[in-house]
Amino acid sequence: MFKHILIVESLDSILLGLTTALQNNFAAQIDTALNGDAGIEKIKKAVHENGYDLIITGLDYANPETVESGEAFIDAARAVLPGVKAMVYSNDTRPYRIHKLFHNHKVNAFVAHSPDSMPQVIDALKMISKSEVIFVSPRYLPFHENNLGIELSDFDIRLLRHLSAGKSQPEISRIFTDEGIAHASVSTIEKRINKLRYQLDAKNTIHLITIAKEAGVI
């Protein structure tokens, strides 16, 4: 079982809830930090003592400095402590972000924040402390397993392929209309692109196409 745990979370209520739950269930030393920068400082100091065998973090910090996100914190922490296990506890449940946590940042557990999620936190920590298995809140398990983390419709795939070919939204609208596809207005296409960008955490349309290509969708 874990002996030295660091929790990094900007919201006091979540930080208190996690700390209390862990203190009630585990005989571990628990340290806390309010953002990634403070967390890295604690890790650097602890590495010469007992270090940490588990880090728990949210995904977004209030007033970040150089470590701007939970993903960046995990990567920076493992640069100092390569073997440390990581759990993310967050209310950001965007599919592609969850998928990247496991496949890009190699987290050991993801638990979605909710009023009744503390039992999942405890179960997750018990599970990952014993082996190299991973834990995902059951509702979001498909996002870990799917290459993109979301189910794409035929409309989505065709839309992405046309965008990849350099077609503009009005051009795609005309193509879809000529093919008899319903709901193919420019407005509808724009809304769908924006939704895909949000779901896949894409900065812009070019980034969206890159993500789709990397996942083998187009």
DSSP 89-127: EES---HHHHHHHHHTS--SEEEE--TT-HHHHHHHHHH
- The whole-number average pLDDT for the span 48-64 is 89
Sheet of 4-8: strands edge to edge? Answer: 29-33, 4-8, 54-57, 85-90, 109-112, 135-136
Confidence label for 89 from pLDDT (cuts 50, 70 and 90): very high
Sign of the four-CA dihedral 176, 177, 179, 181: positive
Tracing tokens 């940042």 back to the chain, one arrives at 105
For residues 130 and 118, which has the higher predicted lDDT (pLDDT)? 118
Note whether 10 and 33 are within 8 A (CB): no
Confidence of residue 151 (pLDDT cuts 50, 70, 90): confident
Q: How many angstroms separate the CA atoms of 195 and 110, rounded?
A: 23
Indicate the average pLDDT of the chain: 89
* pLDDT for residue 143 is more than 70: no
pLDDT of residue 149: 62
41, two tokens = 């400082």
pLDDT at 177: 93
Confidence of residue 147 (pLDDT cuts 50, 70, 90): low
pTM above 0.75, yes or no: no
CATH class held by domain 4-145: alpha beta
The count of C-alpha atoms lying within 13 angstroms of the C-alpha of 8, restricted to the half-sphere facing its C-beta, is 32
Q: How much is the pLDDT for 109?
A: 95
- Dihedral over alpha carbons 46, 50, 54, 60 (to 10 degrees): -10
User: Is residue 142 scored above 80 in pLDDT?
Assistant: no
pLDDT of residue 148: 62
| pLDDT value at 29 more than 80 | yes
- pLDDT for 133 beyond 90: no
Length of the chain counted residue by residue: 218
If one compares 99 and 22, the residue with the highest pLDDT of the two is 22
pLDDT of residue 75: 97
Q: Which pLDDT score is estimated for 70?
A: 96
Average pLDDT over residues 84-94: 92
How far is the C-alpha of 204 from the C-alpha of 181, rounded, in Å? 25
Residue 115: CB atoms within 10 Å: 6
